[in-house]
């Protein structure tokens, strides 16, 4: 599960206004049933699972076949696979396709204005928000890139500078040193939301992992920056929230 910071932009500086803006993205909200998987896809899933079991048995003489797995080996017809797989679903249409009421716009299962990322429930006027970090240090960020990506040797003073990521991570996420410096110099959340929509760097997954790319991050940064430059957004309020998914 993951925590991430979201800038919530509202017309009035109240928690009720925040609740209203975030409400459409609640994972706990059920919606009208819609297609989840077709019957053909359900059957294919069953066949693929049986194929994986057979592959594992062939490649590993010590493979332990579970009772659950044995049920798949006994399947021969499409209906056999379907009847076994459908046990994992609860809602179907007349054609046997599975339906779901899961909110397709889900972004969070709970949130707080007093959580991580320095969120403290403070509302700011949009026109007062500073996008560049007060302590931004482009020279230091350039040096990080040189060490983390280009393999530059550390000085004695830089011995505590480390990263858990490999060089390829930085290249895929930032592209080049100039972009890395630009992004590190700005103060922006993972996403921002107002009454008109949700805007994010990517799709947040488990354990803080997401699918953001260099292009999606830059697009988000430009959109976030332009939002605050737009005169029509003057007078609105922003508060940072800690969202969990």
Q: 37-90 pLDDT, tens per residue? A: 999 999 999 999 999 999 999 999 899 999 999 999 999 999 999 999 999 999
Q: Which residues pair with 87 in a beta bridge?
A: none
Q: Check residue 135 and give its pLDDT.
A: 93
Confidence of residue 213 (pLDDT cuts 50, 70, 90): confident
Q: Which residues contact 116 (CB under 8 A, 6 or more apart)?
A: 3, 5, 242
* Residue (of 115, 148, 59, 128) closest to 240 by Cα position: 115
Q: What's the full length of the chain, in residues?
A: 245
3 state DSSP class of 237: strand
If asked whether residues 68 and 124 sit together in one domain, one would say no
Domain count within the chain: 2
Q: Which of 102, 133, 155 is the last residue of a domain?
A: 102
- Tell me the C-alpha distance between 226 and 199, whole Å: 13
If asked whether residues 217 and 127 sit together in one domain, one would say yes
Classify residue 135 as left (phi > 0), alpha (psi -120 to 50) or beta.
alpha
If asked whether residues 19 and 85 sit together in one domain, one would say no
Domain of residue 139: give its range.
3-29+106-244
- Tell me the C-alpha distance between 73 and 225, whole Å: 56
pLDDT at residue 208 tops 90: no
pLDDT at residue 126 tops 90: yes
Q: Which of 102, 125, 140 is the last residue of a domain?
A: 102
Q: Check residue 205 and give its pLDDT.
A: 85
Q: Check residue 61 and give its pLDDT.
A: 87
If asked whether residues 113 and 188 sit together in one domain, one would say yes
Q: Check residue 6 and give its pLDDT.
A: 97
Q: Are the C-beta atoms of residues 214 and 173 closer than 8 Å to each other?
A: yes
If asked whether residues 208 and 130 sit together in one domain, one would say yes
Instruction: Name the pTM for this structure.
Output: 0.81
If asked whether residues 50 and 160 sit together in one domain, one would say no
**Alpha helices, H only, 1-38:** 15-22
In the chain, pLDDT over 90 holds for what percent of residues?
A: 89
If asked whether residues 126 and 39 sit together in one domain, one would say no
Parallel, antiparallel, or unpaired: how do β-strands 237-244 and 110-112 relate? antiparallel
């Amino acid at each position: 599960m993951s925590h991430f910071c979201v800038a919530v932009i509202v017309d009035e500086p109240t928690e009720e206004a925040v609740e209203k803006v975030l409400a459409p993205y609640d994972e706990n909200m059920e919606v009208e049933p819609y297609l989840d998987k077709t019957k053909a896809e359900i059957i294919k899933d069953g066949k693929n699972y049986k194929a994986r079991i057979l592959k594992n048995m062939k490649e590993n003489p010590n493979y332990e076949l579970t009772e659950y797995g044995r049920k798949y080996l006994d399947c021969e017809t499409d209906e056999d696979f379907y009847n076994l797989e459908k046990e994992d679903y609860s809602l179907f249409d007349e054609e046997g396709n599975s339906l779901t009421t899961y909110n397709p716009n889900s972004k969070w299962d709970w949130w707080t204005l007093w959580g991580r990322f320095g969120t403290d429930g403070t509302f700011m006027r949009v026109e007062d928000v500073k996008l560049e970090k007060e302590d931004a240090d482009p020279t230091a960020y350039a040096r990080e890139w040189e060490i983390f990506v280009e393999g530059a040797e550390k000085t004695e003073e830089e011995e505590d500078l480390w990263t858990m990521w490999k060089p390829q991570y930085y290249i895929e996420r930032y592209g080049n040193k100039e972009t890395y410096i630009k992004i590190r110099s700005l103060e922006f959340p993972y996403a921002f939301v107002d009454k008109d929509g949700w805007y994010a760097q990517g799709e947040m997954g488990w354990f803080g992992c997401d699918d953001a790319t260099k292009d999606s991050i830059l697009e988000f940064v430009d959109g976030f920056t332009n939002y605050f430059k737009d005169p029509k957004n003057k007078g609105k309020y922003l508060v940072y929230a800690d969202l969990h998914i």
